[in-house]
Structure 1
Amino acid sequence: MTPDECAALLAYVGRLDPRAAHRDPAETAGQLATWCDLLRDVPATAPDGWDAAAVARAHITGSPYPILPVDITRPWTAHRRALLARHTDPRPNVDPDDVEGYQQAIRAQRDAVATGAVEPTASRELAGGPHPQLAHLIARALPAAAAAALAPFRPLRAAREAAALAGRPDALNVPCTWCRAPVGEPCRRRTSPKRAEQQGGWSRRSTVHPSRLDAATEQANRQERAA
C-alpha cells in the first residue's frame, strides 16, 4: 500500500474501533509509520476479492483484540499463495532462445500476480472444472460403496463429488467473501478462546457459506458465456 492508502485504512480502522485511534499527533504519526512499513507489500485491493478494508472489518467484528498490521499481512499471504497456485506461467512474448530475457519475463509475470497487480492466468483447459462427460469418472475414483462409506469422514470431498455428478459448480473454485477463505480451502468459522487471555481461532466448516456457492455459480455462468 502507498502511504495514502495506509492512512485511509488506518482512519477506517479508527472509526470502527476507537481503541486503534490515538489522540496524540506523535503517537498517530508513529502508528502510521509502522503500518506503512509492514503493509508496503500488501495491496489495498487485488483480484479474487481481496480488500484490505474488508479484512480489517472482519477482524474487528470477529476478534476481541485490537487489530494489528499482522492481521492484514497474514490473510494477504494466504490470498497471494492462492493466486500464485492458479497462475500457469503463460508463454511471454519473448524469444525463447533469449534465456535470460525469457526468465525475467516469467518472473515479472509472477511478481505482478503476487502483488495483486494482475489476475492469475489459468490454462483454459483447467478453468471451470472438469468437462461434464468426465465429471462422473473423476468424482467416482473410488467404488461407489467405498465413497459412500467414507463420505461422513470427508464431507467437503463428498460435497465436491456430489456437485460434479450433478453438474453444479465447485464452490471451492472461488474465495469466500464471508469468512475470507481463499480458493481451494474450506470455509471456516470463528471459535471462542478457551481462556480470557487467549485469542480465538478458526475451525473448518463441513459446508460452504451460501454466498460462496452463489459466487461460484456466477463465475461458472460467466465462463460459459465467454466460451
Structure 2
Amino acid sequence: MNPAEVAALLAYAAELDPRNANADEDEARAQLRRWCELLQDVPAVAVEGWDASAVVRRHIAETPWPIIAADVARPWAAHRRALLARHTDPRPAVDPDDDRAYRHAIREQRVAVATGQAAPTSTRQLTGGPAASVAARIGAGRALPAAAVEQLARYRPVRAAREAAAAAGRPDALAVSCDWCHAPAGEPCRRRTLAPGAQAGTWSRRRTVHPTRTDKAAAGRRQESAA
C-alpha cells in the first residue's frame, strides 16, 4: 500500500475504534510512518477476496485489542502463501528453448500471484474419468495396450515372466519367497556379485527364478486346490 492508502486505512480503523485515534499530529505522523514501513508490500485490495479494510473490521469486531500494522501484515502473508501454494506455473507464451526468457516469464507470473495482481493458475482436475478404451483395459487387469506391454517386456523381464506365467496358467514363483537365495515374496531371485572390485556380500538380480522357488509355488497351488 502507498502512504495515501495506509492513511485511509488508519482513518477507517479510528472510525471503528476510537482507541486507534492519535492525540496529536506528531503521533499521527509517527504511526503512519510505522504502518507504511510494515505494509509497503501489502496490497489494499487483491485477488481471491483480499481486502485490507475487511481485515481491520474483522480484527476490531473479534478481538479486544487495538489494531496494529502486524495485524494486517500477518493475514496478508498467510493469504499470499495460500495463493502461491495453488499456483502451478503454467507454460508462458515464450519459446521454451529460450531458457532466459522462459525463466523470466515464470518469475513474472509468480510475482504477479505473490503481489495479488493475478489469480493463481491451478492444474485442472480430471472429472470425466478414463476413456472407454482405457477403462476396458483396466477392467481386464491391464493398464497398458498390448503393443506397449510387448515392447516393454525386454526392459521388465521379471514382470514379463510373471505375466507370461499367469497367461499360461503356471504358478507365480514370485508370489512366494525363495528358500535358496532368501529373496522375499515379490522380489526377484538374486545371486552374489562376482564382478572384479565388487563389494563383498553384494547381490545382483537374476533374470530367472531358482527351480526350488518354482517348485515351492507349484506345491502351494496344489495345497490351495486340495483345500
| 1:112 Cα deviation after fit | 0.5
Once the two structures are superposed, the pairs formed by residues 16-27 of structure 1 within 5 Å of their partners are 16-27=16-27
| 1:62 Cα deviation after fit | 0.7
Once the two structures are superposed, the pairs formed by residues 147-158 of structure 1 within 5 Å of their partners are none
Larger mean Cα displacement after TM superposition, 89-98 or 49-58: 89-98
Structure 1 residues 50-72: Cα deviation after superposition (integer angstroms, max 9, x where no partner):
11100111111111111111111
d(CA) in 2 for partners of 1:23, 1:66: 15
Query: Is 2:87 the counterpart of 1:91?
Result: no
Query: Is 2:72 the counterpart of 1:72?
Result: yes
Structure 1 residues 153-203: Cα deviation after superposition (integer angstroms, max 9, x where no partner):
xxxxxxxxxxxxxxxxxxxxxxxxxxxxxxxxxxxxxxxxxxxxxxxxxxx
Query: Is 2:32 the counterpart of 1:32?
Result: yes
SS state of the match for residue 90, structure 1? coil
d(CA) in 2 for partners of 1:25, 1:41: 25
Query: Is 2:152 the counterpart of 1:131?
Result: no
d(CA) in 2 for partners of 1:2, 1:98: 36
d(CA) in 2 for partners of 1:97, 1:80: 30
Once the two structures are superposed, the pairs formed by residues 1-227 of structure 1 within 5 Å of their partners are 1-123=1-123, 125-126=124-125, 131=127
d(CA) in 2 for partners of 1:131, 1:99: 34
| 1:39 Cα deviation after fit | 0.3
d(CA) in 1 for partners of 2:61, 2:128: 41
d(CA) in 2 for partners of 1:43, 1:88: 22
d(CA) in 2 for partners of 1:47, 1:39: 17
The alignment's TM-score, normalised by the length of structure 2, stands at 0.55
Where relative contact order (Cα < 8 A, 6+ residues apart) is larger, the structure is 1
Q: Which has the larger radius of gyration?
A: 2
Structure 1 residues 14-64: Cα deviation after superposition (integer angstroms, max 9, x where no partner):
101111110310110110111011001001111111111001111111111
Superposed CA RMSD in Å reads 1.5
d(CA) in 2 for partners of 1:15, 1:72: 17
d(CA) in 2 for partners of 1:109, 1:133: 31
d(CA) in 2 for partners of 1:51, 1:108: 23
| 1:133 Cα deviation after fit | 5.9
SS state of the match for residue 106, structure 2? helix
| 1:100 Cα deviation after fit | 1.6
Q: Which runs of 5+ in 1 are unaligned?
A: 135-227
Matched residues, number: 130
Letter of the structure 2 residue corresponding to residue 15 of structure 1: E
| 1:132 Cα deviation after fit | 7.0
Q: Percent identity?
A: 58
SS state of the match for residue 119, structure 2? coil
Letter of the structure 2 residue corresponding to residue 91 of structure 1: R
The alignment's TM-score, normalised by the length of structure 1, stands at 0.55
Distance change >3 Å, CA 100–CA 133, structure 1 → 2 = closer
d(CA) in 1 for partners of 2:62, 2:129: 43
